[in-house]
Amino acid sequence: MTTSPTAHLAALSAAGLQRLQSFLNDGSCLLAFDFDGTLAPIVAHPESARTPLPVIRAMEPLLRTHEVAVLSGRSVEDLMTRLGFEAHHLIGNHGAEDPACPLSLQRAPAYRARLDGIRAAVASTWSAALVAQGVRMEDRGLSLGFHYRLSRQRDAARRLIAELLAAEGQGIRAFDGKLVINVVSVDAPDKVQALQSLMTRRGLTRVLYAGDDASDEQVFRQHQDPDWFTLRVGGDARLSAATFHLNATSDMPMFLAACQRRCSRLQ
């Protein structure tokens, strides 16, 4: 019998682990993870992020029992340099970049070109104002990230970014991350669509999805059914739409080890 999800259940509680066991013992289950703040701790300088060794070690047995996907706001190329293990599927740029999907590859140049106006404006008329507010633009190819983590006046920095996007952005979608505003082409797939496309292509019907910020909440909100094990990492569990909660990124090795123990009969 399938039970309905219990809201905000601690993933490492006895009840959470019991649910995890029943969920994982199905070979068609995809294990999908966000990267920054989920597998790797958030750091002041995004280029310094790396998957911690305990996470890599705990992930390795799961790579033999399940298909594993990592979805990130980073480009796939960037992700590969810092992941530290070979996931079966890498999806970048918040869902816009899926190298294994022919349709995604075909549309990528248009997604990239849609951001050219903003790139040009940031390099010219907006450059000094962004520097003065401590805002740094990260160009990931199919998405842009305006980081204001290092700004001394974060509200003013957010206002400046909003002004810039209102003036220079056309046909775009902007959304919050952790102290970053992300920008993609309005018609680019998001994480939800990219995950669904991957599951369809691979014939997978169930997914464990772990994430830590607003873009992951979009996935949690749309999938509150028993075929999804949604896990919010960090933050206030009461504000999350995920069914399960993990206190912090540093608990991820423990969670992965628990996954491995509970799907050992598949090995």
Report, in Å, the least distance between residue 216 CB and Mg ion: 6
Report, in Å, the least distance between residue 110 CB and Mg ion: 26
Of the candidate residues 9, 36, 49, 262, the single one contacting Mg ion (CB under 5 A): 36
Quick check: 190 binds Mg ion (CB under 5 A)? no
Cα gap 262→266, rounded to integer Å: 9
User: Residue 17, class by beta-carbon neighbours within 10 Å (0-12 exposed, 13-18 middle, 19+ buried)?
Assistant: middle
Phi-psi region of 153 (alpha: psi -120 to 50; beta: other; left: phi over 0): beta
Provide the 10 A C-beta neighbour count for residue 82. 18
Provide the 10 A C-beta neighbour count for residue 60. 13
Quick check: 37 binds Mg ion (CB under 5 A)? yes
Report, in Å, the least distance between residue 122 CB and Mg ion: 23
- Are the C-beta atoms of residues 195 and 32 closer than 8 Å to each other? yes
Residue 48 Cα to chain centre, angstroms: 17
Of the candidate residues 212, 218, 242, 256, the single one contacting Mg ion (CB under 5 A): 212
Residue 11 vs 160, nearer CB to Mg ion: 11
Task: With both helix axes pointing from N to C terminus, report the angle between 191-202 and 102-113 in degrees, rounded to the nearest 10.
Answer: 160
For the segment 63-102, give every residue that binds Mg ion (CB under 5 A).
Answer: none
Counting runs of H as helices and runs of E as strands, what totals does the chain give?
Answer: 10, 11
Residue 150 vs 179, nearer CB to Mg ion: 179
Report, in Å, the least distance between residue 177 CB and Mg ion: 7
# of chain residues touching Mg ion (CB under 5 A): 5
Report, in Å, the least distance between residue 128 CB and Mg ion: 30
Task: With both helix axes pointing from N to C terminus, report the angle between 116-123 and 154-168 in degrees, rounded to the nearest 10.
Answer: 120
Closest residue by Cα to residue 256 from 199, 187, 210: 210
**Which of the stretches 29-37, 115-123, 223-231, 257-265 binds Mg ion when contact is defined by CB under 5 A?**
29-37
Of the candidate residues 67, 78, 98, 213, the single one contacting Mg ion (CB under 5 A): 213
Cα gap 225→237, rounded to integer Å: 18
Of the candidate residues 20, 23, 32, 34, the single one contacting Mg ion (CB under 5 A): 34
**Which of the stretches 104-112, 148-156, 197-205, 213-221 binds Mg ion when contact is defined by CB under 5 A?**
213-221
Residue 45 vs 64, nearer CB to Mg ion: 45
Report, in Å, the least distance between residue 97 CB and Mg ion: 16
Which residues here bind Mg ion, judged by CB under 5 A?
34, 36-37, 212-213
